[in-house]
Amino acid sequence: MSSEKLLTLKTRDGEEFVLEEAMAFRSLTIKNATSNYTINNTPLPINVEINTMIKVIEYWKKHSERGISEDELMNFDKKFFKLLHNSELFDLVVAVDYLADKGLSNAACEQVLDKITGKTPQEIRDIFNINNDCTPTSLGG
Amino acid sequence: MDDVSVETNLLDTLLETFVGRDDAASTTAALALLEANSGIEVCQRLLKKWKHLRPFTQKFIALVAELKKTNEHLTMNGLNRAEKEVKVLDEENDVSSDTLIRLYKKKKHTPVTKAMGVGFQEEILLDILSRLSVLPLLRFKCVSKFWKTLISDPYFIMKHQSHHKNDLNSQKLLVVEDMTTFFSSSLSTVQLVEDVQNLDCVSNIKPFDICNIYGCCDGLVLLGFVNRYDKQLLLWNPSTRESTVLPIQNLHQGELLSDWDMMQLVTAT
């Protein structure tokens, strides 16, 4: 059911944009924030940066399309995540956790999981940019 | 202005300083708490009056929600740790609202240091790691001190278990052969035959005549080793190869107890 109702959102870095309410409500955080008070066209502030939000909206748009098959969605998801650099993926995971969209959150976490499966500890440190603060004694037990 | 008003204004400003930034999230948290507890009269009334509540009151409810969440986390980590934390906070400050704010601040603003790597909050990393199987997790304990602490944490272990409980790929069949050799096989029908592994049991057990598998729970297996003069109980985790000998009191020498008696005895220890 398409809804004409539009919502204005404002990102952390000050960018404003307009979204269909139905699509924005994929985020439980946005839905709950709007459900109890009228906004009167004041933009709703969200704790996400514009670049990451663009990616989220791209995902939401595709997954809201009518008549799209499971296979097409799977192919889209594969391409979508393949194009993300590690840092973009991590920003997406944090943003989607804040927005509370379970579907996208699961998909993004699975992507991170794929990146770390089968890797050595040093490779993990490189992916996440972690300092190795383990001493041989601290590893025991 | 009287003392009460001054205090209210000060608290108002304090809450705005620490809670004010994240309006959407704190509203969500506050409403979630009230809705989850709508059976309680005060929550019902606050829900009805939500639109008319002062922002200060709404933020305070959000703080209460955060405190509840933090407390539940602490309970899962064991009472001792919880008692220590509360004691430290009490010693640092007597005023209860100040304590709430400190707990909230401690939970909300996890410092992002080089040891943690990217700015993932703990919960997100927990979620991702809990989807991994045991073997890679054990390896990842040496990524950093923070990862080691995270993976060893009882809350994480519980989360990992509940994630894998119903996953056929994680479930294994344990078979003991010839009293000394253990085999584990995946319960997933695709892997049933291919995935058989020979497991070494721990070597710090005295010589024995009979080995019994008394039961298993949450990935741990209770084994009993009996010889003519002695019996030993071992709690064994086949996934991590860790084990611990359980102390048994008041068992008669050489007496072979039934499986049920064994389970009762261990529960009581």
In tens, the pLDDT along B106-128 reads: 444 444 444 445 556 788 888 88
Report the alpha-carbon angle B17-B20-B26, nearest 5.
135
- Inspect the interface and report whether the beta carbons of A29 and B119 lie closer than 8 Å: no
Confidence of residue A105 (pLDDT cuts 50, 70, 90): very high
Q: How far is Cα A135 from Cα B145, in angstroms, rounded to an integer?
A: 9
The answer to whether residue A117 neighbours chain B at the CB level (below 8 Å) is: yes
Q: Does the complex come out with an ipTM higher than 0.85? A: no
- pLDDT at res. B73: 65
CA–CA distances in Å: residue B121 to residues A140, B83, B113 = 26, 24, 11
Whether A31 shows a pLDDT value over 80: the answer reads: yes
Instruction: Please report residues of B whose CB lies closer than 8 A to that of A117.
Output: 132, 136
And the tokens for B148? 């080691």
The answer to whether residue B28 neighbours chain A at the CB level (below 8 Å) is: yes
- Inspect the interface and report whether the beta carbons of A130 and B32 lie closer than 8 Å: no
Whether A95 shows a pLDDT value over 90: the answer reads: yes
Buried b (16+ CB within 10 A) or exposed e, B178-194: eeeebeebbeeeeeeee
| A window 29-88, beta carbon within 8 A of B | 29-30, 32-33, 36-37, 44-47, 87
* Sheet strands (E) in chain B: 172-177, 181-186, 197-199, 210-217, 220-226, 231-237, 242-246
Residue B242's beta-bridge partner residues?
Answer: B237
The answer to whether residue B210 neighbours chain A at the CB level (below 8 Å) is: no
A/B interface, count of CB pairs below 8 Å: 99
- Inspect the interface and report whether the beta carbons of B139 and A139 lie closer than 8 Å: no
Q: How far is Cα B165 from Cα B171, in angstroms, rounded to an integer?
A: 8
- pLDDT at res. B178: 64
Candidates B24, B119, B145; nearest CB to A46: B24
**Between residues A111 and B91, which one has the greater pLDDT?**
A111
- Inspect the interface and report whether the beta carbons of B24 and A134 lie closer than 8 Å: no
- pLDDT at res. B260: 57
- Inspect the interface and report whether the beta carbons of A128 and B115 lie closer than 8 Å: no
- Inspect the interface and report whether the beta carbons of A32 and B115 lie closer than 8 Å: no
- Inspect the interface and report whether the beta carbons of A132 and B123 lie closer than 8 Å: no
Q: How far is Cα A29 from Cα B37, in angstroms, rounded to an integer?
A: 19
Q: How far is Cα B222 from Cα B17, in angstroms, rounded to an integer?
A: 53
Instruction: Please report residues of A whose CB lies closer than 8 A to that of B32.
Output: 32
> Residue B248 burial by CB count (10 A; 0-12/13-18/19+): exposed, middle or buried?
middle
Candidates A32, A131, A132; nearest CB to B27: A32
Angle between helices A70-82 and A50-64 (to 10 degrees): 160
How many residues does this entry show for chain A?
141
Gyration radius (Cα) of chain B, Å: 26
**Between residues A45 and B106, which one has the greater pLDDT?**
A45
Which segments of chain B have a pLDDT < 50?
93-97, 99-116, 253-254, 269
Disruptive mutation site among A11, A31, A87, A93 for chain B (greatest number of B CBs within 10 Å): A93
- Inspect the interface and report whether the beta carbons of A45 and B23 lie closer than 8 Å: yes
Residue that the structure tokens 């398409």 belong to = A2
- Inspect the interface and report whether the beta carbons of B120 and A32 lie closer than 8 Å: no
Disruptive mutation site among B22, B23, B124, B141 for chain A (greatest number of A CBs within 10 Å): B124
CA–CA distances in Å: residue A91 to residues B16, B47, B111, B163 = 27, 34, 17, 24
- pLDDT at res. B63: 86
Confidence of residue A104 (pLDDT cuts 50, 70, 90): very high
Do the beta carbons of residue B126 and residue B150 sit within 8 Å?
yes
pTM for this model (two decimals): 0.57
Whether A93 shows a pLDDT value over 70: the answer reads: yes
And the tokens for B195? 């995935």
- pLDDT at res. A63: 92
Do the beta carbons of residue A24 and residue A7 sit within 8 Å?
yes
- Inspect the interface and report whether the beta carbons of B124 and A133 lie closer than 8 Å: no
Q: Which residues does A119 contact at the CB level (< 8 Å), separation at least 6?
A: A127
Instruction: Please report residues of B whose CB lies closer than 8 A to that of A121.
Output: 139-140, 142-143
Q: How far is Cα B241 from Cα B159, in angstroms, rounded to an integer?
A: 20
Instruction: Please report residues of B whose CB lies closer than 8 A to that of A32.
Output: 24, 27-28, 31-32
- pLDDT at res. B80: 57
- Inspect the interface and report whether the beta carbons of A44 and B24 lie closer than 8 Å: yes
- pLDDT at res. B110: 44
- Inspect the interface and report whether the beta carbons of A132 and B118 lie closer than 8 Å: no
Whether A1 shows a pLDDT value over 50: the answer reads: no
The answer to whether residue B155 neighbours chain A at the CB level (below 8 Å) is: no
Neighbours of B32 (CB within 10 A): 15
- What residue type is assigned to position B109 of the chain? H
HSE of A80, CA atoms in CB hemisphere, 13 A: 22
The answer to whether residue B139 neighbours chain A at the CB level (below 8 Å) is: yes
How far is C-alpha B75 from the chain's CA centre?
Answer: 9
Judged by DSSP in three states, B188 sits in coil
